[in-house]
Amino acid sequence: MTELTKWLDARRSPMELIERLFDGDSSAGGIKVEEVVDGNTLVIRAELPGIDPEKDAEITVSDGGLTIRAERQEKKEHKEKDSYRSEFRYGSFVRRIPLPDGVKEGDVTASYKDGVLEVRAPIPEKTAAVSPSKVPITRS
């Protein structure tokens, strides 16, 4: 198991893993995502059909996590001589995803195509742990 695979598994709480077993995952806030590591980049894809990404979505990076907020408003009306039917589909959705240590906000990019938001976050190289060095003691 690679260090990155361990990170992906270890960052999930037991409750989140249990909730993911159910399709109606309440913690996900209605946004379904997939996370893939492509080389040294974490790629997060979120299903957000029917939104205008410039008006209806916001992505922020803070406190070691990525937050996706979106709002969907869709209205369909059917008018006939003696009837009227209206179907509304709307709501606000939020999803927070933990990021690897050291990801900088300025390095994160996002794009939107065909109802899918794609966020790319470069994973910083781990710096080698500094091993303790012995300091010699001199006599005075």
CATH number at residue 97: 2.60.40.790
As a whole number of angstroms, the distance between CA 1 and CA 84 comes to 59
Residue 113 lies in a domain: yes
In eight-state DSSP terms, residue 3 is H
Residue 133 lies in a domain: no
Shortest CA distance to 62 belongs to which of 15, 99, 32, 8? 99
As a whole number of angstroms, the distance between CA 58 and CA 61 comes to 10
| Residue numbers in the chain where pLDDT is lower than 70 | 1-29, 74-75, 87-89, 127-130
What is the per-residue pLDDT for 15? 56
Residue 135 lies in a domain: no
Range of the domain at 59: 29-122
Q: Which residues contact 39 (CB under 8 A, 6 or more apart)?
A: none
In the chain, the number of structural domains is: 1
**Which residue's structure tokens are 């990525």?**
66
What is the per-residue pLDDT for 85? 74
Residue 139 lies in a domain: no
* Span 46-74, pLDDT tens digits: 998 888 899 999 999 998 899 999 987 76
pTM: 0.63
